[in-house]
Every structure is written in structure tokens, then in C-alpha cells.
Structure 1
């Protein structure tokens, strides 16, 4: 079970690094190459959206079927284990949300940059006429 969370953590870290690279001020040539490279990577990396959705459903199912630890029947170690599982579930929900949000941000930045490029090309053609 931990392998899927490690993979999702690495994907979120890579998405964050790409988002930072895309938003840094760079020369136009470097930015256009970077955006074209990231645009090629966006389509195959779309797997992160359904993967995160599946993980969220898994977290929800486990939350609904988790044994409650309340009252005098629980020992201190059982209560600690229960609280630890709640904290891990909350962390994993944040991780899934971050994966989807970062993917969307990267997609929008690339789309905006391509739109700006196409508008600049149209403006250049009108100036040449």
C-alpha cells in the first residue's frame, strides 16, 4: 500500500518542480522550448487524475469502515494507532488534492503561454501587412 503513496509523492514533487520552472522568468526561446516539452509530457501524465480519484475513494471507504476507538474499551496504544491512521489519511487526501491541482495549474500555464504565442504571431502578421 505504501508504494502507491510514494509514487504519488514523487509525482507531486515533479509537478511542483515543473510548475516552478514554468513560472520562473526565462528568455523567450528557453520558455518556448520548456513549454513545448511540458506539453508533450502532459498527455501521458494525465493518469494522475484518475489515480488520485481512486486513492480518494479508497481513503473514503477505509474511513467509513474503520473501527472507532472511543470510550473505555480502547487502550492507549490502540488510541494512538487510531489517531495515527487518521493523520495519515488526512495527509494522503492533501497529497491527492495537490496532485490534481498542480496538474491543472501546469496545464493552464502551458495553455496560456501557447495562446499568448498565437496572439503574438497574429499581431506580427497584421503588422507585416
Structure 2
């Protein structure tokens, strides 16, 4: 299961880097190239959404089937520590899922806004040339 989390982490990192290059001011040449790269990468990156839902279901399944320590003295310290580590890992993975989904949505929204701004600026320049 660790490979799935690494793949999701790389996907979220790639989304963050693309989003950074699209939103930083002063990189107009890079931005124009990044727009085409991001537009072609948005459809394959859409696979992050069902992948995140699958991993969320995995977290839920692990939560539901975990052994419980109903009484304080029924678990050994090792079992209790393993249980606490499992909870922390689940929380970390939940944050990774949320960040990957949020970054994809931001990347999609920012890309569409940047494309719209470029179209409007081209339209303004065309109208200025006509006058």
C-alpha cells in the first residue's frame, strides 16, 4: 500500500508545481508553455479523483476492522502503540487525499481562468487594432 501513497504524493507534488508556475507573476514565456502542458495533463490527472476515493475507502475499511482496546488493561503497550501509529498514518493519508483533490480543483480552475484572461487580452488587442 505504500506505493499507492507515494504515487498520490507525486501527483499532488506535480499539481502543486504546475499551479505554482501558472500563478507566479513575471513568467509570461513559461506560463504560455505551461498552459499547453497543463491542459494536456488535466485529463490524465483526473484519475487522481477516483484513486483518492479508493484510498479513502481503504482508510475507512482499516478504521472499521481495526482491533479495539475496550478496556485499558486489555491491550499490551505494543498493541496500543501500533493502534496510535495507525491512527496517525490514517490522518496523514487523509490530509494527503484532501490536498491532492484540492490541488487538482485549483489547477483546473486556475488553468481555465488563465486561458480566459489570455482570450480576453487577445480580444482587447484586436479591438485596439481595429480602431
- TM norm. shorter chain > 0.5: yes
Cα distance in 2 for residues equivalent to 1:127 and 1:84: 63
Unaligned runs of 5+ in 1: none
Runs of at least 4 residues of structure 1 off by over 4 A? none
Aligned to 2:28: 28
Per the normalisation by structure 2, the TM-score is 0.91
Give the count of matched residue pairs: 129
Partner of 1:45: 45
SS in 2 for 1:43: helix
- Structure 2 residue runs without a partner (length 5+): none
The TM-score normalised by the length of structure 1 is: 0.92
Offset of residue 126 of structure 1: 2.0
Tell me, in whole angstroms, the C-alpha distance in 1 between the residues paired with 2:94 and 2:120.
39
RMSD of aligned residue pairs (Cα, Å): 1.3
Note if contact 2:5-2:93 (Cα within 8 Å) is conserved in structure 1: yes
CA contact (8 A) 2:21 2:31 kept: no
Counterparts of 1:121 and 1:17, CA distance in 2: 27
- Separation of aligned partners in 2, 1:88 and 1:68: 17
Native 8 Å contact 1:69 1:82 kept in 2: no
Instruction: Please state whether the residue corresponding to 2:51 is helix, strand or coil.
Output: helix
1:1-36 CA-to-partner distances (Å, cap 9, x unmatched) read 111111111111222222222221134332111111
Q: Check the 8 A contact 2:52/2:97 in 1, yes or no.
A: yes
1:67-120 CA-to-partner distances (Å, cap 9, x unmatched) read 112421101000000000000000000001111111111111111000001111
Which SS does the other structure have where 2:26 is aligned? coil
SS for the counterpart of 2:6 is helix
Summarize the alignment of residues 51-62 of structure 1 with structure 2, pairs less than 5 Å apart. Answer: 51-62=51-62
3-state DSSP class of the match of 1:69? coil
